[in-house]
Structure 1
Amino acid sequence: MGTPELISPRSPRVAAARRLARRNFRGKERRFIAEGPQ
């Protein structure tokens, strides 16, 4: 079993990733998104 599919744009993981597009949220959470193959 792999990672769960992100089917819904309302999924909590997708919503959190979208919030990371805002600089102030990235600074507050001390997180960032790395795009591309991991």
Structure 2
Amino acid sequence: MRHNQTRTNKMLNYRTSLYWGLLLIFVLAVLFSNYFFN
């Protein structure tokens, strides 16, 4: 039971960090496009 809980938490942390990484890449892409097209 406890081992399963830690595994679920690891998956949740991995998924959250993945979403933050995608969000960061998206924001950087928007900033770069604004910089280059202006």
Q: Which has the larger radius of gyration?
A: 2
Fold match by TM threshold 0.5: no
- Select the structure that is richer in helix: 2
TM-score (norm 2): 0.30
Higher relative contact order (CA 8 A, sep 6+): 1
